[in-house]
């Protein structure tokens, strides 16, 4: 069981597109959950229904925490990927994710077993911060620019950086200054939005995500079971 959070601290560097690409290329059983308290995008981009999803999961998990509870609230994309979409309205998403933040961390090991959960946390704020700290790995997307890097103080100890696009600071300089590991540096992908909307399957982002997914999957297998 592995739980990987994808987040940002400022702006919109493409968290949802990256989370979708990583989940779509993961070499094994995987579920993608939108845990973005500001509202989800997957339902709108991929034509999903409001329910089942994060809101219905938040209701059921209060009383039922069996091993199938996550998949009962997932919808399936044409590719076969299971996704748990968040409500698009911020108020509904915030209420559901606030309810889940106090429950999910303690039940992750019981629910997932051989399944990897990739969580789109959106911008780290409020309930998403609590969830982020409970995950096995937290990948924080940021542009290598001072206006973005200046907001990275106080990240949880499980955080690693994913640099996105061009900037004046090379990866080594960022690592030395912030004492944070850089997992990958993604080049700008003009087709990322088309992938998010289901109009493209093969893009620069997807190729990079596939390589990273393979690396992370091997690391997860080598890590000791708590």
pLDDT for the residue numbered 11? 78
Average pLDDT over every residue of 41-45? 94
pLDDT for the residue numbered 226? 47
User: What pLDDT digit, counting tens, does each position of 81-93 carry?
Assistant: 999 999 999 999 9
The residue ranges of every structural domain in the chain are 2-222
Indicate yes or no: pTM above 0.75.
yes
49/76 Cα distance (integer angstroms): 11
User: What pLDDT digit, counting tens, does each position of 119-165 carry?
Assistant: 999 999 888 998 999 999 999 999 999 999 999 988 999 999 999 99
Both tokens assigned to 48: 């999903």
Record: fold of 2-222 = Rossmann fold (3.40.50)
62/118 Cα distance (integer angstroms): 21
What secondary structure, in 3-state letters, does 120-133 show? EEEECCCHHHHHHH
């Amino acid at each position: 069981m592995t739980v990987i959070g994808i987040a940002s601290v400022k702006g919109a560097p493409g968290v949802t597109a990256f989370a979708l690409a990583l989940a779509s290329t993961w070499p094994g059983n995987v579920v993608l959950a939108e845990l973005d308290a500001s509202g989800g995008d997957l339902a709108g981009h991929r034509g999903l229904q409001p329910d089942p999803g994060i809101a219905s999961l938040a209701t059921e998990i209060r009383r039922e925490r069996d091993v199938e509870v996550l998949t009962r609230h997932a919808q399936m994309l044409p590719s076969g990927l299971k996704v748990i979409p968040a409500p698009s309205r911020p108020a509904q998403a915030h209420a559901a994710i606030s309810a889940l933040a106090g429950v999910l961390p303690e039940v992750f090991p019981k629910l997932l077993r051989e399944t990897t959960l990739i969580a789109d946390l959106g911008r780290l704020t409020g309930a998403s911060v609590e969830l982020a700290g409970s995950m096995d790995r937290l990948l924080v997307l940021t542009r290598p620019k001072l206006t973005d890097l200046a907001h990275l103080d106080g990240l949880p100890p499980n955080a690693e950086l994913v640099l996105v696009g061009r900037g004046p600071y090379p990866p080594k300089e960022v690592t030395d200054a912030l004492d944070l590991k850089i997992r990958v540096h993604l080049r700008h992908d003009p087709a990322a939005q088309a992938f998010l909307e289901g109009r493209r399957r093969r893009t620069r982002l997807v190729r990079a995500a596939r390589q990273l997914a393979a690396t992370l999957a091997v690391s997860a297998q080598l890590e000791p079971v708590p």
